[in-house]
A and B are shown apart, each in its own frame.
Chain A
Amino acid sequence: MIQGQLRRFELFDQVDDAGVRVLERLFTTRRVRAGGAIIKEGKRGDELYLVLDGNVEVRKRKSASEWSVRRHLIDGQLFGVIALLGDGLRTATCTATDRTLLGVLSKADFEALRADEPAVYVRLMQVLAHQLAKDNRAVRDLLDGAMAHSPA
Protein backbone atom coordinates (compact mmCIF):
# COMPACT_ATOMS: atom_id res chain seq x y z
CA MET A 1 0.00 0.00 0.00
CA ILE A 2 1.33 3.45 -0.88
CA GLN A 3 -1.12 5.64 1.00
CA GLY A 4 -0.97 9.36 0.23
CA GLN A 5 1.62 9.01 -2.55
CA LEU A 6 -0.21 9.20 -5.88
CA ARG A 7 -1.59 12.72 -5.45
CA ARG A 8 2.01 13.98 -5.52
CA PHE A 9 2.25 13.06 -9.17
CA GLU A 10 0.68 14.95 -12.07
CA LEU A 11 0.23 11.72 -14.00
CA PHE A 12 -2.59 10.73 -11.64
CA ASP A 13 -4.49 14.03 -11.89
CA GLN A 14 -7.06 12.37 -14.15
CA VAL A 15 -7.96 9.84 -11.42
CA ASP A 16 -10.56 10.98 -8.88
CA ASP A 17 -9.98 10.67 -5.11
CA ALA A 18 -11.91 7.40 -4.78
CA GLY A 19 -9.93 5.91 -7.66
CA VAL A 20 -6.64 7.05 -6.14
CA ARG A 21 -7.55 5.31 -2.87
CA VAL A 22 -8.28 2.07 -4.76
CA LEU A 23 -4.97 2.26 -6.64
CA GLU A 24 -2.97 3.11 -3.52
CA ARG A 25 -4.29 -0.05 -1.90
CA LEU A 26 -3.12 -2.16 -4.86
CA PHE A 27 0.45 -0.85 -5.10
CA THR A 28 3.03 -2.41 -2.79
CA THR A 29 6.45 -0.89 -2.12
CA ARG A 30 9.92 -2.20 -2.86
CA ARG A 31 13.30 -0.73 -2.00
CA VAL A 32 16.16 -1.17 -4.47
CA ARG A 33 19.80 -0.40 -3.68
CA ALA A 34 21.85 1.85 -5.94
CA GLY A 35 22.98 -0.27 -8.87
CA GLY A 36 20.25 -2.84 -8.29
CA ALA A 37 18.63 -4.36 -11.38
CA ILE A 38 14.85 -4.04 -11.56
CA ILE A 39 14.09 -5.22 -15.09
CA LYS A 40 16.29 -7.01 -17.63
CA GLU A 41 15.68 -6.68 -21.36
CA GLY A 42 14.45 -9.92 -22.91
CA LYS A 43 13.25 -11.41 -19.62
CA ARG A 44 9.61 -11.93 -18.78
CA GLY A 45 7.91 -9.77 -16.20
CA ASP A 46 4.47 -9.24 -14.72
CA GLU A 47 4.83 -6.07 -12.66
CA LEU A 48 4.32 -2.36 -13.28
CA TYR A 49 6.60 0.06 -11.44
CA LEU A 50 6.21 3.64 -10.23
CA VAL A 51 9.25 5.58 -9.04
CA LEU A 52 8.23 6.96 -5.63
CA ASP A 53 11.64 8.23 -4.58
CA GLY A 54 14.89 7.76 -6.44
CA ASN A 55 16.29 7.46 -9.91
CA VAL A 56 16.10 4.68 -12.48
CA GLU A 57 18.17 4.36 -15.65
CA VAL A 58 16.52 2.80 -18.71
CA ARG A 59 18.80 1.25 -21.31
CA LYS A 60 18.14 -0.69 -24.47
CA ARG A 61 20.78 -2.97 -25.91
CA LYS A 62 21.99 -2.32 -29.47
CA SER A 63 24.64 -5.05 -29.49
CA ALA A 64 26.60 -7.11 -26.97
CA SER A 65 28.68 -4.07 -26.02
CA GLU A 66 26.50 -1.07 -26.97
CA TRP A 67 23.37 0.56 -25.58
CA SER A 68 21.16 2.40 -28.10
CA VAL A 69 18.96 4.32 -25.67
CA ARG A 70 19.64 5.75 -22.24
CA ARG A 71 17.04 7.64 -20.23
CA HIS A 72 16.55 8.46 -16.59
CA LEU A 73 13.26 8.16 -14.76
CA ILE A 74 12.53 10.19 -11.64
CA ASP A 75 9.75 10.36 -9.04
CA GLY A 76 6.29 9.99 -10.50
CA GLN A 77 7.27 8.09 -13.65
CA LEU A 78 5.97 4.63 -14.50
CA PHE A 79 7.89 1.87 -16.24
CA GLY A 80 7.23 -1.73 -17.22
CA VAL A 81 4.09 -0.67 -19.10
CA ILE A 82 4.86 -2.33 -22.45
CA ALA A 83 5.31 -5.79 -20.91
CA LEU A 84 2.25 -5.32 -18.70
CA LEU A 85 0.04 -4.56 -21.70
CA GLY A 86 1.72 -6.97 -24.10
CA ASP A 87 3.29 -10.40 -23.99
CA GLY A 88 5.26 -9.81 -20.80
CA LEU A 89 8.60 -9.54 -22.54
CA ARG A 90 10.75 -6.70 -21.18
CA THR A 91 11.93 -4.34 -23.92
CA ALA A 92 14.62 -2.52 -21.91
CA THR A 93 16.85 -2.89 -18.88
CA CYS A 94 16.04 -0.73 -15.84
CA THR A 95 18.52 -0.20 -13.02
CA ALA A 96 18.32 1.98 -9.91
CA THR A 97 21.11 4.56 -10.00
CA ASP A 98 20.39 5.75 -6.43
CA ARG A 99 18.73 4.02 -3.51
CA THR A 100 15.19 3.92 -4.86
CA LEU A 101 11.71 3.33 -3.51
CA LEU A 102 9.28 1.84 -6.01
CA GLY A 103 5.54 1.31 -6.06
CA VAL A 104 4.79 -2.10 -7.58
CA LEU A 105 1.52 -3.27 -9.16
CA SER A 106 1.22 -6.93 -10.14
CA LYS A 107 -0.43 -7.98 -13.39
CA ALA A 108 -2.84 -10.14 -11.40
CA ASP A 109 -4.05 -7.10 -9.43
CA PHE A 110 -4.14 -5.03 -12.63
CA GLU A 111 -6.39 -7.61 -14.31
CA ALA A 112 -8.58 -8.03 -11.23
CA LEU A 113 -9.12 -4.28 -11.20
CA ARG A 114 -10.72 -4.52 -14.66
CA ALA A 115 -13.45 -6.78 -13.30
CA ASP A 116 -13.82 -5.24 -9.84
CA GLU A 117 -13.53 -1.51 -10.55
CA PRO A 118 -14.00 -0.93 -14.30
CA ALA A 119 -14.11 2.87 -14.06
CA VAL A 120 -10.87 2.97 -12.01
CA TYR A 121 -9.29 0.52 -14.47
CA VAL A 122 -10.12 2.86 -17.36
CA ARG A 123 -8.53 5.77 -15.49
CA LEU A 124 -5.43 3.68 -14.79
CA MET A 125 -5.26 2.78 -18.49
CA GLN A 126 -5.48 6.51 -19.21
CA VAL A 127 -2.53 7.06 -16.85
CA LEU A 128 -0.55 4.32 -18.63
CA ALA A 129 -1.41 5.84 -22.01
CA HIS A 130 -0.23 9.21 -20.69
CA GLN A 131 3.09 7.70 -19.59
CA LEU A 132 3.49 5.94 -22.96
CA ALA A 133 2.81 9.23 -24.76
CA LYS A 134 5.52 10.95 -22.71
CA ASP A 135 7.89 8.06 -23.42
CA ASN A 136 7.15 8.33 -27.14
CA ARG A 137 7.99 12.04 -27.06
CA ALA A 138 11.20 11.36 -25.10
CA VAL A 139 12.37 8.67 -27.54
CA ARG A 140 11.52 10.88 -30.53
CA ASP A 141 13.60 13.66 -28.97
CA LEU A 142 16.48 11.22 -28.54
CA LEU A 143 16.18 10.15 -32.19
CA ASP A 144 15.98 13.76 -33.38
CA GLY A 145 19.07 14.58 -31.32
CA ALA A 146 20.93 11.57 -32.70
CA MET A 147 20.02 12.51 -36.28
CA ALA A 148 21.08 16.13 -35.72
CA HIS A 149 24.50 14.94 -34.56
CA SER A 150 25.04 12.23 -37.17
CA PRO A 151 27.59 12.87 -39.94
CA ALA A 152 26.11 14.30 -43.14
Chain B
Amino acid sequence: MTDELLQYLPTSMLPAGTALATEGEPHGVLTGLLFGMISIRAGESELARLDQPGWLGEIGFADAGPATATLLCVTDCHVVQIDRDGFNELVATHPHMADTLISQVASTLSERLVEATKGTVESLGAGRFTLRSAHAKRPMLRRALARLMGAQ
Protein backbone atom coordinates (compact mmCIF):
# COMPACT_ATOMS: atom_id res chain seq x y z
CA MET B 1 0.00 0.00 0.00
CA THR B 2 2.64 2.52 0.99
CA ASP B 3 4.89 1.65 -1.96
CA GLU B 4 1.96 2.18 -4.32
CA LEU B 5 1.08 5.41 -2.60
CA LEU B 6 4.62 6.68 -2.98
CA GLN B 7 4.18 6.23 -6.74
CA TYR B 8 1.04 8.30 -6.79
CA LEU B 9 2.02 10.76 -4.11
CA PRO B 10 5.62 11.39 -5.10
CA THR B 11 7.88 12.85 -2.46
CA SER B 12 9.65 16.10 -2.98
CA MET B 13 12.24 18.00 -1.01
CA LEU B 14 11.45 21.64 -0.37
CA PRO B 15 14.23 23.93 0.83
CA ALA B 16 13.93 25.85 4.09
CA GLY B 17 12.07 29.11 3.53
CA THR B 18 9.61 27.68 0.98
CA ALA B 19 6.03 28.93 1.47
CA LEU B 20 3.67 25.99 0.94
CA ALA B 21 0.55 28.15 1.30
CA THR B 22 -0.31 31.75 2.01
CA GLU B 23 -3.18 32.59 4.34
CA GLY B 24 -6.26 33.81 2.47
CA GLU B 25 -5.01 32.80 -0.98
CA PRO B 26 -6.39 29.95 -3.10
CA HIS B 27 -4.61 26.71 -2.35
CA GLY B 28 -6.34 23.33 -2.68
CA VAL B 29 -3.21 21.22 -2.22
CA LEU B 30 -2.97 18.56 0.46
CA THR B 31 0.52 18.26 1.91
CA GLY B 32 1.80 15.40 4.01
CA LEU B 33 4.93 16.22 5.97
CA LEU B 34 7.30 13.26 6.13
CA PHE B 35 10.43 14.87 7.53
CA GLY B 36 11.32 18.40 8.47
CA MET B 37 9.63 21.27 10.27
CA ILE B 38 6.82 23.50 9.05
CA SER B 39 5.68 26.71 10.71
CA ILE B 40 1.91 27.33 10.72
CA ARG B 41 1.25 31.06 10.80
CA ALA B 42 -1.79 33.33 10.90
CA GLY B 43 -1.21 37.02 10.43
CA GLU B 44 1.97 37.92 12.30
CA SER B 45 1.64 35.05 14.76
CA GLU B 46 3.05 31.53 14.68
CA LEU B 47 0.28 29.17 15.75
CA ALA B 48 2.34 25.99 15.84
CA ARG B 49 5.22 24.08 14.35
CA LEU B 50 4.68 20.67 12.84
CA ASP B 51 7.78 18.51 13.09
CA GLN B 52 6.39 15.00 12.75
CA PRO B 53 4.38 13.25 10.03
CA GLY B 54 1.04 14.95 9.61
CA TRP B 55 -1.35 16.46 7.10
CA LEU B 56 -1.54 20.14 6.26
CA GLY B 57 -3.85 22.08 3.96
CA GLU B 58 -6.71 19.63 4.44
CA ILE B 59 -9.38 22.34 4.78
CA GLY B 60 -8.56 24.00 1.45
CA PHE B 61 -8.12 20.60 -0.19
CA ALA B 62 -11.56 19.50 1.01
CA ASP B 63 -13.58 22.63 0.21
CA ALA B 64 -11.42 24.37 -2.43
CA GLY B 65 -11.50 27.50 -0.30
CA PRO B 66 -8.61 29.80 0.58
CA ALA B 67 -5.77 28.68 2.83
CA THR B 68 -6.59 29.18 6.52
CA ALA B 69 -2.93 29.69 7.44
CA THR B 70 0.47 30.38 5.97
CA LEU B 71 2.70 27.30 5.85
CA LEU B 72 6.43 27.94 5.83
CA CYS B 73 9.25 25.38 5.73
CA VAL B 74 11.51 26.10 8.71
CA THR B 75 13.97 23.42 7.60
CA ASP B 76 14.36 21.48 4.38
CA CYS B 77 11.17 19.39 4.24
CA HIS B 78 10.33 16.06 2.63
CA VAL B 79 6.67 16.14 1.66
CA VAL B 80 4.03 14.35 -0.40
CA GLN B 81 1.48 16.55 -2.16
CA ILE B 82 -1.74 16.05 -4.09
CA ASP B 83 -4.25 18.51 -5.51
CA ARG B 84 -7.93 17.96 -6.32
CA ASP B 85 -7.22 16.97 -9.93
CA GLY B 86 -4.65 14.46 -8.73
CA PHE B 87 -7.16 13.08 -6.27
CA ASN B 88 -9.80 12.70 -9.01
CA GLU B 89 -7.26 10.73 -11.03
CA LEU B 90 -6.57 8.56 -8.00
CA VAL B 91 -10.31 7.87 -7.54
CA ALA B 92 -10.57 6.73 -11.16
CA THR B 93 -7.45 4.57 -11.19
CA HIS B 94 -6.95 3.39 -7.59
CA PRO B 95 -10.16 3.88 -5.60
CA HIS B 96 -8.84 1.88 -2.62
CA MET B 97 -5.92 4.30 -2.28
CA ALA B 98 -8.25 7.25 -2.70
CA ASP B 99 -10.39 5.73 0.07
CA THR B 100 -7.39 5.52 2.41
CA LEU B 101 -6.35 9.08 1.64
CA ILE B 102 -9.76 10.75 1.92
CA SER B 103 -10.53 8.76 5.08
CA GLN B 104 -7.36 10.20 6.62
CA VAL B 105 -8.32 13.70 5.51
CA ALA B 106 -11.83 13.38 6.92
CA SER B 107 -10.48 11.94 10.15
CA THR B 108 -7.99 14.81 10.49
CA LEU B 109 -10.73 17.37 9.80
CA SER B 110 -12.98 15.69 12.34
CA GLU B 111 -10.26 15.83 15.01
CA ARG B 112 -9.47 19.47 14.15
CA LEU B 113 -13.16 20.34 14.47
CA VAL B 114 -13.47 18.69 17.87
CA GLU B 115 -10.33 20.53 19.05
CA ALA B 116 -11.44 23.87 17.59
CA THR B 117 -14.87 23.51 19.13
CA LYS B 118 -13.26 22.95 22.51
CA GLY B 119 -11.37 26.16 21.88
CA THR B 120 -8.01 24.43 21.95
CA VAL B 121 -5.83 25.58 19.12
CA GLU B 122 -2.49 24.49 20.50
CA SER B 123 -2.73 20.88 19.37
CA LEU B 124 -1.61 21.29 15.77
CA GLY B 125 1.45 19.15 16.12
CA ALA B 126 3.58 20.09 19.09
CA GLY B 127 6.16 17.60 20.21
CA ARG B 128 9.73 16.55 19.74
CA PHE B 129 10.91 15.02 16.53
CA THR B 130 14.37 14.25 15.27
CA LEU B 131 15.01 15.93 11.96
CA ARG B 132 16.17 13.62 9.22
CA SER B 133 18.28 14.18 6.18
CA ALA B 134 16.41 15.59 3.22
CA HIS B 135 17.83 12.62 1.32
CA ALA B 136 16.47 10.01 3.69
CA LYS B 137 16.41 6.49 2.33
CA ARG B 138 13.19 5.08 0.88
CA PRO B 139 12.40 2.67 3.77
CA MET B 140 12.42 5.66 6.10
CA LEU B 141 10.05 7.46 3.77
CA ARG B 142 7.81 4.39 3.68
CA ARG B 143 7.69 4.30 7.47
CA ALA B 144 6.95 8.01 7.63
CA LEU B 145 4.26 7.67 5.00
CA ALA B 146 2.78 4.69 6.83
CA ARG B 147 2.67 6.81 9.99
CA LEU B 148 1.07 9.64 8.04
CA MET B 149 -1.57 7.29 6.68
CA GLY B 150 -2.31 5.95 10.14
CA ALA B 151 -0.98 2.49 9.45
CA GLN B 152 1.37 2.58 12.47
Contacts and interface: CB of A to CB of B under 8 A. Distances in A.
A101 interface: no
Contact of A81 (B65, B96, B103, B110): B110
Contacts, number: 78
Contact of A85 (B60, B68, B98, B106): B106
A123 B59 CA distance: 16
B62 A133 contact: yes
The B interface is mostly helix, strand or loop, or mixed, namely: helix
A43 interface: no
A122 B106 contact: no
A137 B65 contact: yes
A44 interface: no
Given A86-B110, A91-B117, A122 B98 contact: yes
Contact of A60 (B58, B95, B96, B117): B117
Contacts of B117: 60, 68-69, 91-92, 139
A21 interface: no
Nearest to A146: B119
Contact of B59 (A60, A82, A133, A143): A133
A85 B110 CA distance: 8
B62 A126 contact: yes
Interface in B36-76: 58-63, 65, 68
B12 to A, nearest CB: 24
A119 B95 contact: yes
B113 A132 contact: yes
Size class of B's contact patch?
20 to 34
B140 interface: no
Contacts of A132: 62, 106, 109-110, 113
Interface string A113-124: 010001101110
Contacts of B116: 136, 139-140, 143
A77 B103 CA distance: 20
Q: Is chain A's binding surface mostly helix, strand, loop or mixed? A: helix
Contacts of B96: 118
Contact of A136 (B91, B103, B113): B113
Nearest to A81: B110
Given A91-B114, A136-B112, A136-B113, A129 B91 contact: no
Given A81-B110, A118-B96, A130 B102 contact: no
B63 A85 contact: no
Given A135-B113, A137-B65, A129 B98 contact: no
Contacts of A92: 117
A14 to B, nearest CB: 8
Contacts of B58: 129, 133
